[in-house]
Amino acid sequence: MPWKGRKIDEEALEELEEILIESDFGVQAALSLVEDLREVARRQGLTEMSQLREALGDAVRRALVVPEDDLALASGGPTVYLMVGVNGVGKTTTIGKMARGMIESGRTVLVAAGDTYRAGASEQLARWAERVGADFVGGQDGGDPAAVAYDALEAAVARGTDIVLVDTAGRLHTHKGLMEELVKVKRVIGKKVEGAPHEVLLVLDATVGQNGIVQAREFKAAVDVSGVVLAKMDSTARGGVVMALSEELGLPVRLVGIGESADDLAPFDPDDFVAGVLDSA
């Protein structure tokens, strides 16, 4: 919307509200942000929308759930990350990118091919492991993913591996049987390594908009998701779903995929996000 020269009135605020909703912020987050701006304008006696740009950025920052610490690292034994999400969001690629970054920081990594259903999934992860220098544990096609996770953790403990990344099959959040299977995988991990999984990361496609909130809600209820990886953030100019994840579910975005190469995975930067919001609004 044109900020410069635009008077603050209900029409302008409602237009901004619509822009935020269309940018995948979600109704609740958009209403909350605009209400904050309305109060700022009243309290400070502001008259032009351009005076609210900075206030919008501040309101977005306040609403974001930003973790104080980096991804968890266990003090003893392997740190275990369980990766979950629906079909086609890029979990396996994300795991490869994560493994690369961790290995480059000096840690040893093992990846577990817990997606035993998708044809070629194990081979894809094995190629990533070879490419980045990670250990690999797979299982039989159609086998029990919990057994793969158990074998991977057993190998990691024996080898003194620092980090284990457990891949899982993509599953619709509405499929009760597959969600229960995911609960079993998490339970087996916890029995094998105390305190594990140390992170349950939900991989979401940044372009799916509000459907991502529905997915996040169901996965969080099933396996207590601790954070989100937003894949394909490079293909959306806004990514307002970040706000909805914070506002409605209290979930932080930990990492964002910003391209196709092995290095195109970065920590979520709130300042970059806010700058994008202001540019698009």
CATH number at residue 210: 3.40.50.300
Question: Is the pLDDT higher at 75 or at 95?
Answer: 95
pLDDT at 137 over 80: yes
Q: Which domain holds residue 41?
A: 10-63
Q: List the one residue out of 186, 190, 211, 188 whose CA is nearest residue 201.
A: 186
155 and 45 both lie in a single domain? no
Mean pLDDT of 59-72: 85
19 and 91 both lie in a single domain? no
47 and 182 both lie in a single domain? no
pLDDT at 228 over 70: yes
58 and 98 both lie in a single domain? no
Residue 251 DSSP one-character state? P
Helix (H, G, I), strand (E, B) or coil at 100: helix
Domain count, the chain: 2
Mean pLDDT of 63-69: 83
pTM for the structure as a whole? 0.90
Give the per-residue pLDDT at 53.
Answer: 87
Phi-psi region of 62 (alpha: psi -120 to 50; beta: other; left: phi over 0): alpha
pLDDT at 38 over 60: yes
Give the per-residue pLDDT at 234.
Answer: 64
185 and 127 both lie in a single domain? yes
Give the per-residue pLDDT at 41.
Answer: 93
Indicate whether 242 belongs to any domain. yes
Q: What's the pLDDT tens digit per position in 169-195?
A: 988 777 788 899 999 999 999 999 999
Give the per-residue pLDDT at 237.
Answer: 45
45 and 148 both lie in a single domain? no
pLDDT at 125 over 50: yes
pLDDT at 207 over 50: yes
Mean pLDDT of the chain: 89
Give the per-residue pLDDT at 1.
Answer: 62
Pseudo-torsion of CA 270, 274, 275, 280, nearest 10°? 140
